[in-house]
Chains A and B, each alone.
Chain A
Amino acid sequence: MIRTEELLLNVGPQHPSTHGVFRIIVKLDGEVITEATPVMGYLHRGTEKIAESLNFTQIIPYTDRMDYVSAMTNNYVLVHAVETMMGLEVPQRAEYLRLVVMELQRVASHLVWWGTYLLDIGAMSPFLYAFRDREMIIDLFNELCGARLTYNYMRVGGVKWDAPPGWLDKVRAFIPYMENKLMEYDKLVSGNEIFLARIKGVGAYDAKTAIDYGLTGANLRCTGVDFDIRKAEPYSLYSKFDFDVPLGKTGDCHDRYRIRLEEIRQSLRILKQAMEQFPEGGDTMGKVPRVLRPPAGEVYVRIESPRGEIGCHIVSKGKAEPYRLKFRRPSFVNLQILPKLLVGETMTNLITILGGIDIVVGEVDC
């Protein structure tokens, strides 16, 4: 029998596979992990504290910087919370624009995940394909609001900019393009034996564990639990659309992979319907008071971000600034299961499992 010395290994915070500045300390017995302790806070900027001295419109750019891969959904959860509190109406055209950008964002976010995940595992070229196609969405956003990553696009009561002439046609053209590319992705990667050997049966857990750990998004649905907030508690216009919620069975990395790819397809389905229903003309900003002062009280709203349930809890005292603003960040909550999953796994699987959870450290630390 080979005896190995226990080794304490520091992974991160600067490591290409940690998707930012995430650090984890692992205890190794040979190649096998016996204990894992995540260390967070390297990207903590105190967003919630800063927000207490800003008015609601000023907070929107800060939400862009939480989950910077999916800024549109973050924008939405904040403005939606304030609108819920104040009982504001959003014009149809603005709501459609929001829905379209949120679904485009979901596609873009999953593309980043798909590319970087395969890069983590050792496949270089899919990353280039994914970023080539994501670039088209980024260009669409750039044309819409002048930013590629931190959009600051939504406002309480509507959106900042209407779609420029011809923009919707570009979105329409993007949908079939992306559908074709998805088939290309499947041909290129999804059946690859080496890839499957790396992800099948790795990082598996059951539905009960997933619920207990408060996992949401693909991390929950890979165990077969049918919970997508777009369906379960429809917000925005989602009740008007026909789409499926892909579910897994085994709860392993392979199921999470399949679900995310399928979610891109479903988002394209929603986009296609949205393009058909898109209202001609109309306002993009509803009637809102000049100074936003939600009534005293509190509200908790949640939406489905590409990573799971993102929630916003606002406590207001009737002032223009929130008394307390708390974001429920899916990356932060989903990451909690990592130390449990890693025990007994090898070092190589650490990257596979961490990548499979799909975190954005800006959101973990907030």
Chain B
Amino acid sequence: MSEEQGKDGEKPVVREAPADAEREAKLKAAAEARAARAAAKEKTESEAGEAAPEVAKPPSPRQPELDRLAALIKSEVSESAVEDAYLNELNGDMPVIIINNSYWREVSRLLKEHGELQFNYLRNVSGVDYETHMEVVYHLYSLSTKREAAFKVKTERDAAAVFSATPVWATANWNEREIYDLLGIDFPGHPDMRRIMMPDDWVGHPLRKDYEPIDPEV
């Protein structure tokens, strides 16, 4: 895209026949039209952005699910355990709850053992480097209630650590090792924290955004 823009921008500069006034006029007109289009597009976009909150969207059918989940965690663990709770619209309104790092250990236990939640199947664990902080995402599913939800735990980039979920879900074991290996997030409480994909003497964590390979050619 940037290449194309560059070409467009260069056209008037590299043209060879300045005497061709007609052509010049055409180019100018085209440039003006482009600018006008861009402005119009920007305008509609900003309008859409402003107008969106005014149109009252019908509440999602999964809103009560999210509210109940957040309320349960707050009442059973702590008021401050829930940092944020929202529905992921892109993902079919999946409930997402951001858990305070220091409460994750208790919350993970609650999620699995509470009779109403029974999140017994940890389907996925991902680590994400957001450059300002690190995040571990747990996608949970309950095979008894058929409900799903995502839980996120944030941690700082230096000395990143999230309490291990392996004692709760055995499947977290290798997933956490992979995240440690590739992103450098430590999981205290993990029974066997070693690298899993890279060799043991590897330097750095490749999936970090600031990772620099020793040999950039490779």
A contact residues vs B (CB 8 Å cutoff): 40-41, 44, 46, 48-49, 84-85, 211-214, 225, 227, 232, 291, 295, 297-302, 309, 311, 313, 315, 320, 323-324, 326, 328, 332-333, 335-336, 365-366
Contact = CB atoms under 8 A, between A and B. Distances in A.
7 contacts: A40-B197, A48-B182, A214-B170, A227-B143, A298-B90, A298-B91, A328-B124
B208 to A, nearest CB: 10
B137 A212 contact: no
Interface stretch (B54-62, B73-81, B115-123, B153-161): B115-123
Nearest to B211: A49
Contacts of B171: 212-214, 333, 336
A41 B198 contact: yes
A311 B143 CA distance: 17
A315 to B, nearest CB: 5
A85 to B, nearest CB: 5
Given A48-B182, A297-B88, A302 B170 contact: no
B206 A300 contact: no
A86 B12 CA distance: 36
A85 B127 CA distance: 19
Contact of A49 (B121, B169, B206): B206
Contact of B198 (A44, A211, A320, A333): A44
Interface residues of B, number: 36
Interface of A is mostly: mixed
B85 interface: no
Given A41-B199, A213-B170, A333-B174, A315 B128 contact: yes
Contact of B137 (A44, A214, A313): A313
A332 B179 CA distance: 13
B94 A211 contact: no
A40 B196 CA distance: 6
B64 to A, nearest CB: 20
A309 B123 contact: yes
Interface in B123-149: 123-124, 126-129, 137, 139, 143, 146
B175 interface: yes
Interface string B3-31: 00000000000000000000000000000
Given A48-B182, A299-B88, A328-B124, A211 B174 contact: no
Given A212-B169, A313-B124, A328-B139, 9 more contacts: A49-B207, A85-B90, A214-B123, A297-B90, A300-B139, A302-B124, A313-B126, A323-B128, A324-B126
